[in-house]
Amino acid sequence: MIALALPEIQVDHTPMVSAEFERVYRECGDAVYRSAFRILPNAADAEDVLQTVFLRFLRRDLSLGEVDNVEAYLRRAAVNAALDVVRSRGAKVSSIEDLKREPSAGAQQELHSRLRDALSRIDPKWAEMFVLRYVEGYGNKEIATLLNMSQTSVAVTLFRARQKLQNEIRLDNGSLAL
Q: pLDDT value at position 68?
A: 78
Instruction: Give the range of the structural domain holding residue 143, as residue numbers without chain letter.
Output: 19-172
Residues 50, 29 contacting (CB under 8 angstroms): yes
47 in any annotated domain: yes
Per-residue pLDDT of the chain (178 residues; tens, 9 = 90+): 555 555 555 544 444 457 787 888 888 888 888 888 888 867 888 888 888 888 888 887 666 667 778 888 888 888 888 888 888 876 444 443 444 444 335 556 676 777 888 888 888 888 888 888 888 888 889 888 888 889 889 888 988 888 888 887 776 655 444 4
10 in any annotated domain: no
9 in any annotated domain: no
pTM, entire model:
0.51
11 in any annotated domain: no
Q: Taking the CB of residue 104, how many other CB atoms lie within 10 A of it? A: 16
32 in any annotated domain: yes
Q: Please give the C-alpha separations between residue 170 and each of 74, 115, 163, 166, in angstroms, as whole numbers.
A: 33, 10, 11, 6
Q: pLDDT value at position 99?
A: 44
Give the end-to-end CA distance of the chain in Å, rounded to a whole number.
Answer: 86
Q: pLDDT value at position 170?
A: 72
4 in any annotated domain: no
97 in any annotated domain: yes
Q: Which residues contact 87 (CB under 8 A, 6 or more apart)?
A: 120, 124
CATH of the domain at 165: 1.20.140
Q: pLDDT value at position 108?
A: 62
Domain total for the chain?
1
Q: pLDDT value at position 7?
A: 54
177 in any annotated domain: no
